[in-house]
Chains A and B, each alone.
Chain A
Amino acid sequence: MFGYAGKILFIDLSTRVVKMIPTEKYTKDFLGGRGIATKIAYDMIPPHVNALDPDNILIMMTGPLTGVAPSSSRIDVVSLSPVTNLLGGSSAGGDFGAVLKFAGYDGIVIKGKSKKPVGIRIIDDEITFHDAEACWEYNVYDTVDCIKSLGREDVQVACIGKAGANLVKMAGISFSKRNLASRGGLGAVMGSKNLKAIAVAGTKGIKVSDQEKLLKYNFEIESTLIKSPSFKKYENWHANISPALLKAKRPYFGDYEEDFWEDAEEAAKNAKHFFEEMAVLKPNSCFACPLRCWAWIEYKGEEAPMVACQGTFPAIIFILKIKDPELAWKVYLKLQREGMDIMSTAAVVAYASTLGLVKLGSEEVLTLIDKIINREGSGNVLAEGIKKASEHFGVPAVYVKGGMESWSSDIRPFRGIALAAAVTESGSISRAIHGFPASSYYTKPEKAKKVAKKIVGSEKAAEPTNYEGKAALVVYFENEHIIADSLGVCDTPLLSIPLDLWSASYTAATGISMRVEELHFLAGKIRTLERMFNVRRGVDRNRDIISPRFFQSVIRSGPWKGVKIDRDAFERMKSEYYSLRGWDENGIPTDETLKKYGLEW
Chain B
Amino acid sequence: MPYLIVHENRCIGCHTCEMVCSLSHEGVINPDLSRIHVIGYKGEKFPIMCLQCEDAPCELVCPMEAIHMDGNIRVVDDDKCIRCKMCTLVCPIGGVLYDYISHKMIRCDLCGGDPQCAKYCPMDAIEVVPDEGVPESRRRGVRVLYGEAD
Q: Which positions in A face B, CB cutoff 8 Å?
A: 67-68, 70, 95, 98, 102, 202-208, 211, 214-215, 218-219, 222, 225-226, 282-290, 292, 295-296, 298, 303, 305
What is the minimal beta-carbon distance from B31 to any residue of chain A, in angstroms?
Answer: 7
Shortest Cβ distance from residue A456 to the other chain B in the assembled complex, whole angstroms: 34
List the A side residues contacting B24 at CB < 8 Å: 211, 215
State the Cβ distance, B9 to closest chain A Cβ, in Å. Answer: 10
Of the candidate stretches B61-69, B86-94, B119-127, B137-145, the one touching chain A is B119-127
Residues of B45-98 whose CB lies within 8 A of A: 45
The 8 closest A-B pairs by CB, nearest first: A205-B30, A290-B122, A296-B43, A282-B43, A285-B14, A205-B28, A203-B32, A285-B12
Interface readout for B19-36 with A: 1 if CB under 8 Å, 0 if not?
A: 110111011111111000
Contacts of B146 in A (CB 8 A): none
Give the residue of A205, A283, A292 whose beta carbon is less than 8 angstroms from that of B29. Answer: A205
Tell me the nearest residue of chain B to A303, going by C-beta: B42
Whether the Cβ atoms of A208 and B28 lie closer than 8 Å is: yes
- Does B13 count as interface, using CB distance less than 8 angstroms? yes
Report B-chain residues with C-beta under 8 Å of the C-beta of A207.
Answer: 27-28
Known interface pairs A206-B30, A303-B42. Does A288 touch B22 (Cβ–Cβ under 8 Å)?
no
Q: Which residues of A contact B45 (CB under 8 A)?
A: 284
Are A288 and B15 in contact, CB atoms less than 8 angstroms apart?
yes
Assess whether B15 is in contact with A226, with CB atoms less than 8 Å apart.
no
Q: Which residues of B contact A219 (CB under 8 A)?
A: 119-120
- Would A208 and B19 count as touching, CB distance under 8 A? no
A283 CA to B27 CA, complexed, in Å:
30
Using known A-B contacts A102-B31, A206-B29, A226-B122, determine if residue A284 contacts B23 with beta carbons closer than 8 Å.
Answer: no
| Residues of chain B lying within 8 A (CB to CB) of residue A218 | 20, 120
Residues A206 and B42 in contact, CB atoms below 8 Å apart: no
**Inter-chain contact A284/B12, CB cutoff 8 Å:** yes
Contact for A292 among B12, B27, B32, B44, CB less than 8 A: B12
Residues B31 and A222 in contact, CB atoms below 8 Å apart: no
A286 to B12, CA, bound (A): 9
Q: Evaluate whether A68 and B13 lie within 8 angstroms (CB atoms) in the complex, with A215-B20, A215-B24, A282-B44 already known.
A: no
Q: Closest residue to A280 on the B side, CB-wise?
A: B43
Given A203-B100, A205-B22, A205-B28, answer yes or no on A288-B119 (Cβ-Cβ < 8 Å): no
* Contact A206–B15 (Cβ < 8 Å): no
Pick the most buried of A95, A98, A287: most chain B CB atoms within 10 A of its CB.
Answer: A287
Task: Say whether, besides A215-B23, A296-B42, A204 and B15 are in contact (CB < 8 Å).
Answer: no
**Alpha-carbon distance A298/B44, docked complex (angstroms):** 12
Across-interface contacts of B120 in A (CB, < 8 A)? 218-219, 222
User: If A226-B122, A295-B43 touch, does A285 touch B22 (CB 8 Å cutoff)?
Assistant: no
Distance A157 CA – B69 CA, assembled complex (angstroms): 42
Closest A residue, CB atoms, query B13: A284
Interface residues of B in 95-121 (CB under 8 A from A): 100, 116, 119-120
Known contacts A205-B29, A298-B43; 7 additional CB pairs below 8 A are A102-B29, A102-B32, A205-B28, A218-B20, A284-B12, A292-B123, A303-B43
Alpha-carbon gap, A95 to B15, bound state (A): 10
Give Cα A206–Cα B120 distance, bound, in whole angstroms: 19
**Known contacts A222-B120, A282-B43, A290-B123: does B32 contact A205 (CB below 8 Å)?**
yes
Measured CA separation A211–B24 after assembly (Å): 7
- Decide: B122 and A68 in contact? CB cutoff 8 A: no
Contact partners of A215 in chain B: CB under 8 A: 20, 23-24, 116
Shortest CB-to-CB span from B144 to chain A, Å, is 15
Question: Closest Cβ of chain A: how far from B62's Cβ, in Å?
Answer: 25
> What A residues does B12 contact at CB under 8 A?
283-285, 290, 292
Q: Which residues of B contact A303 (CB under 8 A)?
A: 42-43
Flag if A214 contacts B100 (CB, 8 Å). Answer: no
Kindly report which residue of chain A lies nearest to residue B28, judged by CB atoms.
A205
12 residue pairs of the A-B complex, CB under 8 angstroms, read A98-B15, A203-B30, A205-B30, A214-B23, A215-B116, A219-B119, A222-B122, A226-B122, A283-B12, A290-B122, A292-B14, A292-B123
Interchain CB contact under 8 A, B42 and A70: no
Query: What is the bound-complex CA distance between A219 and B24, given in angstroms?
Result: 12
Q: Which residues of B contact A287 (CB under 8 A)?
A: 14-15, 19
Q: How far is the CB of B7 from chain A (nearest CB, A)?
A: 14
CA distance A202 to B27 in the complex (A): 17
Nearest CB on A from B51, distance (A): 22
Q: How distant is the Cα of A214 from the Cα of B116 in the complex, in angstroms?
A: 13
Q: Which residues of A contact B13 (CB under 8 A)?
A: 284-285
Q: Is the CB of A284 within 8 A of B15?
A: no
Judge whether B23 and A208 touch: CB under 8 Å.
Answer: yes
Find out whether the CB atom of B29 lies under 8 angstroms from the CB atom of A284.
Answer: no
Asked, given contacts A67-B29, A295-B43, whether A290 binds B14 with beta carbons under 8 Å apart, the answer is yes
Q: Is the CB of A288 within 8 A of B42?
A: no
Residue in contact with A205 in the complex, picked from B20, B33, B123, CB distance below 8 Å: B33
B residues near A296, Cβ cutoff 8 Å: 42-43
Closest to B9 in A: A282
Closest to A283 in B: B12
Q: Are A204 and B29 interface neighbours, CB within 8 A?
A: no
- Chain A proximity of B124: nearest CB distance (Å): 10
* Min C-beta distance of A306 to chain B, whole Å: 11
- A288 contacts B27, CB within 8 Å? no
Assess whether B14 is in contact with A289, with CB atoms less than 8 Å apart. yes
B145 to chain A, nearest CB (A): 15
User: Known contacts A219-B119, A296-B42; is A206 also within 8 Å of B14 by CB?
Assistant: no
Least Cβ–Cβ distance between B32 and chain A, in angstroms: 4
